[in-house]
Amino acid sequence: MSGERVLVIDDKPENIELLTEYMLRPKGYIPLVATNGEEGLHVALTHRPDLIILDLKMPKMSGLQVLQALKERKANIPSILMTGYGSEHIAVQAFRLGVRDYITRPFEVDEMLDAISRALDEEPLLKKQKAQRANLEQRETLKKQVDLLQRMLQVSHALNSSLGLESLLQTIIEIARELTETEASSLLLLDKETNQLHFAAATGVKSQKLKSISVPIDSIAGWIVRKGRPLLVPEVRRDPRFFRQVDAITGYATRSILGVPLKIKERIIGAIEVLNKAGEKIFTLDDARILTILAAQAAIAVENARLFTEVKNEKDKLQTLINSTADSIILTIGEDDRILLINEAARKALSIEATPVVDKPLAEVMSNEWLIDLFARSHADSKTERAEIPLADGRTLNANLTLIPTVGRVLVMQDITPLKKLDEMKSDFVTTFVHDLRSPLTSIRGFVDLLPMVGKLNDRQCDSIARIQRNVANITALIDDLLDIGLIEASIGLEMDICHLDLIVTEVVDHSRRRAEAKEQHLQLISPASLPPVLGNPLRLSQAVRNLLDNAIKYTPPGGRITVQIGEEGDQIIVQVKDTGIGIPVADKPYIFDKFYRVRSEETKDIEGTGLGLYIVKSIVDKHNGRVWVESKAGEGSTFTFILPKY
């Protein structure tokens, strides 16, 4: 065989010539040349020849130093060392450095050629064998790694699947047994109360029997749990910690055990063990690594199951709790309002079938349009929205929908049908009653007004008549208010038309100007040149503005300032009545729009009123699909605002 590249490193040109021209070239080898050790090393490293023939004694770097340097750089090139004088010591050193042959000068041509061909012949064979071995080992390791990865993937899939804890743990220990090439495996969990371990999963035919036994804490598994460290017991029979009862039950003969702890953060909850490495082999570090990874996965599975049970228990408790209340309750989550909890009362009220509805969007399982509207409305900024929900069976529910940030929305509904009935009866009664009262009152007022014309009256008589007139006016106002409420609520005479709210507001303000001036109040109207119209009833809208302005004048002391402003914002028209009056105490604020509610205080005790003005305002605004609210500070003034959608 020829064509191999042979590097000759020698400081003597005649030696080089002899080797290259008379031995190597004629035999078909390709010679490379270096004339000192350093150069030789460089050529060897850059060109990687098939063989190096080098002199022992050279300036700067000896042959041995070159070999040493090559070895350090892991350049495994066969080499032949030439030296002028033989020495055992040098030979040993040279062979330690991997030299193939050692030739003493002067040498015969054949002797050198023999050495060269031996070195080159031997090399490919050795290389091949080594490469084959390395290849095999690499393949084996790769296969093992791929296997391991695949199994780990399987465990991850299992963890994400809906498998129950028991089958999950079983899968994990089966894989542990396979990957560590052992005969059996098991997973034990610590019972904190009894301080004993029990088998949560085990391989083998009789493994089910293990579930009924408890393993003491001074066992091998117990040691792993107590110390939180892996443990290898090569011969269990000699270990006093070995818990023989397990073998007695399974009829199995445990020889060796490798175990690792199951950890959740720093908490040890149990251990995984593999038993008897197959083929009498011994456990390796890889086995411990594999087991540790699987233990981490198993710990996650156990923890997930524990958390799941905890959450489920809490949810069940909550469900029992809300089921026992008479109110209808629904808890929803997410943008699409998926049902998280719903109680029996709510199911009945909304005729929701008994099929599983949890996790379904609420709109999919019920069709009550008032409720759908309430949910749609509450997406806006306000935290709680209220609505009366008529049901198909004629009942009415009072619904409060509250936004719970980051959780969802909770709907609580009470049956107010009896109250509604009562209210209707009361309204009917009041309407009839006030109607009947109006006629005698009209005649009382007529006669009282006529009295001064009958004859001259003295001062006391005049005073009494004035009082009667005032009181009759109050009762008439009350009756008018009550009648108005009845009409507005029943939507009687509430025909809607296109109206210009700015004109209505201007008219009301102009009409009230004299009264404000009489109280030396400064009344100002701020209105843009033109505003889009609204759809409404002009008489009722005028009444709403009038009630607000009347109140502002009434509850603002002389010298105060009242500002009425109208404007637009987005697709809404805004009307605002602002005063610098007595304001409204915080405690009274939530109730002032209620029927008959009046603030009872030192400032209000001499101010007359029915407590119906704001209720009427709210009823009118509601009927116009608007919203009314107040901002106020006691002692500083109030701002009443209502908004209506533009036409």
Regarding 171 and contact with ligand ADP (CB under 6 A), the answer is: no
CB atoms within 10 A of CB 104: 15
Near ligand ADP by CB under 6 A: residue from 579, 624, 628, 643: 579
Q: Which is nearer to ligand ADP, 349 or 599 (CB)?
A: 599
Is 584 a binding residue for ligand ADP by CB under 6 A? The answer is: yes
CB nearer to ligand ADP: give 450 or 587: 587
Instruction: Tell me the helices (H) and strands (E) count for the chain, helix number first.
Output: 18, 23
Chain positions 122 to 161 lying near ligand ADP, rule: CB under 6 A, are none
Minimum CB separation of residue 528 from ligand ADP in Å reads 24
At residue 258's C-alpha, the angle toward residues 300 and 168, to 5°, is 30
Rg (CA), the chain: 50
Contact between 230 and 291 (Cβ < 8 Å): yes
Question: Does residue 301 touch ligand ADP according to CB under 6 A?
Answer: no
479 touches ligand ADP (CB under 6 A): no
**CB of 488: closest distance to ligand ADP in angstroms?**
14
CB burial string 503-513: b at 16+ within 10 A, e below: ebbbebbeebe
Closest CA to 528 of 550, 506, 544, 546: 506
Which of residues 20, 203, 297, 610 is near ligand ADP by CB under 6 A?
A: 610
Measured from the CB of residue 265, what is the shortest distance to ligand ADP in angstroms? 59
Of 622, 620, 618, 624, which is closest to residue 640 (Cα–Cα)?
A: 618
Q: Which member of 176, 410, 599, 620 binds ligand ADP (CB under 6 A)?
A: 599
Give the nearer residue to ligand ADP in terms of CB position, either 340 or 545.
Answer: 545
Contacts of 561 (CB under 8 A, 6+ apart): 521, 522, 524, 579, 580
215 binding ligand ADP? (CB under 6 A): no
Binding region for ligand ADP (CB under 6 A) out of 289-297, 358-366, 425-433, 581-589 = 581-589
Is 613 a binding residue for ligand ADP by CB under 6 A? The answer is: yes
Choices 286-294, 388-396, 450-458, 575-583; region in contact with ligand ADP by CB under 6 A: 575-583
Q: Which is nearer to ligand ADP, 14 or 606 (CB)?
A: 606
Q: Which stretch binds ligand ADP (CB under 6 A): 84-92, 169-177, 217-225, 597-605?
A: 597-605
From candidates 614, 620, 621, 643, binder to ligand ADP by CB under 6 A? 614
Q: What is the size of the binding site for ligand ADP (CB under 6 A)?
A: 21
Q: How wide is the angle at C-alpha 554 spanned by C-alphas 536 and 636, nearest 5°?
A: 100
Task: By CB under 6 A, tell whether 581 contacts ligand ADP.
Answer: yes
Judged by CB under 6 A, which stretch of 36-44, 170-178, 190-198, 549-557 contacts ligand ADP?
549-557
Torsional sign, CA 417, 418, 421, 422:
negative
Contact 53, 8 (CB under 8 A): yes
From 97-105, 414-422, 526-534, 596-604, span contacting ligand ADP (CB under 6 A): 596-604
Provide, rounded to whole angstroms, the least separation between the CB of residue 465 and ligand ADP: 25
CA distance 243 to 186: 14
Closer residue to ligand ADP in complex, CB, 226/589: 589
CA 277 and chain centroid, separation: 44
User: Of the ranges 97-105, 209-217, 463-471, 605-613, which one interacts with ligand ADP (CB under 6 A)?
Assistant: 605-613
User: Within positions 14 to 53, which residues make up the interface with ligand ADP, using CB under 6 A?
Assistant: none
Q: Which two tokens stand for residue 321?
A: 């709790």
Q: Least distance to ligand ADP from the beta carbon of 430, Å?
A: 17
Q: Which of residues 623-642 bind ligand ADP (CB under 6 A)?
A: 638
Kindly state whether residue 609 participates in binding ligand ADP, applying the rule CB under 6 A. yes
Q: Are 250 and 207 in contact (CB under 8 A)?
A: yes
Is 552 a residue that touches ligand ADP (CB under 6 A)?
A: yes
Quote the Cα angle for 536-563-528, to 5°: 60
What residues contact 72, with CB distance under 8 A and at least 6 apart?
none
564 scored as a contact of ligand ADP (CB under 6 A): no
- Could you please report the per-residue DSSP string of 32-43? EEESSHHHHHHH
β-pairing, 51-55 vs 5-9, is parallel
Nearest to 386 by CA among 375, 373, 401: 401
CB of 551 to ligand ADP, least distance (A): 3
Q: Which of 607, 608, 601, 615 is nearest to 476 (CA)?
A: 608
Q: Other C-beta atoms within 10 Å of 131: how many? A: 11
Buried/exposed code over 194-211 (b: 16+ C-beta within 10 A; e: otherwise): eebbbbbbbbbeebeebe
103: number of CA atoms within 13 Å, CB side?
A: 24
We find the least distance from the C-beta atom of residue 545 to ligand ADP, in angstroms, to be 13
Name the H helices within 455-529. 459-489, 501-518
User: 400 vs 639, which CB is nearer to ligand ADP?
Assistant: 639
Least distance in angstroms from the C-beta of 473 to ligand ADP: 13
What backbone phi and psi angles, to 5 degrees, belong to 492?
-85, 135
Contact letters (x/-) for ligand ADP, 261-300, by CB under 6 A?
A: ----------------------------------------
- Looking at the Cβ atoms of 7 and 599, the one nearer to ligand ADP is 599
The site for ligand ADP (CB under 6 A) is made up of 551-552, 555, 579, 581-584, 592, 597-599, 604, 609-615, 638
